[in-house]
Structure 1
Amino acid sequence: MRFARLIATAALSGAAVLATAAVPAQAAPQADRGPVRALCSTTSADFTVRNVSRPINHQLLTVTNTGSEPCVLVKAPLLGFDNDTYVGAQPIEESAPQAVVTLEPGQAAYAGIRLSSADGSGENGRNVRTLHVFLDSGEGSEGGPDSIALPKGTWIDDSAAVTYWQSNAADALVW
Structure 2
Amino acid sequence: MRTSRIRLIAAAGAALVALALTACQEGTGLKDEGAGTSQPNATATADTPSGSAKDDSASNEPSGTGNKDTGTGDKAGGGDKAGTGEKAGGGSTNGSDGGSQARVICNGSNTTVGAKPVPRPVNHMLITVENSGSRTCDLPYYPVLRFDEMQWVPQPVKESKPQAVVTLAPGETAYAGVLLSAADGSGDGGTTAHKLTVAFQGATPNSDGGPSAVPALPADGVYYDSSMAVTYWQQSMDDALTY
Give TM-score scaled by structure 2 length: 0.55
Which of the pair has more CA radius of gyration? 2
Question: Is 2:111 the counterpart of 1:51?
Answer: no
Task: Give the match for residue 4 of structure 1.
Answer: none
Q: Which amino acid aligns with 2:222?
A: T
Unmatched 5+ stretches in structure 1: 1-34
Unmatched 5+ stretches in structure 2: 1-100
Alpha-carbon separation, structure 2, partners of 1:43 and 1:144: 6
Question: What is the RMSD of the two structures over their aligned residues, measured on CA atoms?
Answer: 1.5
Question: Is 2:183 the counterpart of 1:118?
Answer: yes
User: How much has 1:36 moved relative to structure 2?
Assistant: 5.6
Question: Is 2:166 the counterpart of 1:101?
Answer: yes
Alpha-carbon separation, structure 1, partners of 2:153 and 2:222: 13
Q: Which amino acid aligns with 1:73?
A: L
Alpha-carbon separation, structure 2, partners of 1:51 and 1:38: 29
Question: Is 2:160 the counterpart of 1:92?
Answer: no
Q: Deviations 1:28-78 (Å, cap 9, x if unpaired)?
A: xxxxxxx76222121101100112111100010000011100011011101
Question: Is 2:212 the counterpart of 1:145?
Answer: yes
Question: Is 2:237 the counterpart of 1:172?
Answer: no
Q: Structure 1 residues 84 and 145, CA, compared in 2 at 3 Å: closer, same or farther?
A: farther
Superposed, 1:36-75 pairs within 5 Å as 37-75=103-141
Task: Give the match for residue 3 of structure 1.
Answer: none
User: How much has 1:83 moved relative to structure 2?
Assistant: 1.5
For the 8 Å contact 1:88–1:160, the answer to whether it is kept is no
Identity of aligned residues (%): 44
Please state whether the residue corresponding to 1:43 is helix, strand or coil: coil
User: How much has 1:91 moved relative to structure 2?
Assistant: 1.0
Give TM-score scaled by structure 1 length: 0.75
Q: Which amino acid aligns with 1:145?
A: S
Higher helix share: 2
Please state whether the residue corresponding to 2:171 is helix, strand or coil: coil
Alpha-carbon separation, structure 1, partners of 2:110 and 2:237: 21
Higher strand share: 1
Q: Comparing both chains, which one has the higher relative contact order based on Cα–Cα distances under 8 Å and sequence gaps of 6 or more?
A: 1
Alpha-carbon separation, structure 2, partners of 1:145 and 1:72: 15
Alpha-carbon separation, structure 2, partners of 1:100 and 1:127: 32
Alpha-carbon separation, structure 1, partners of 2:102 and 2:164: 14
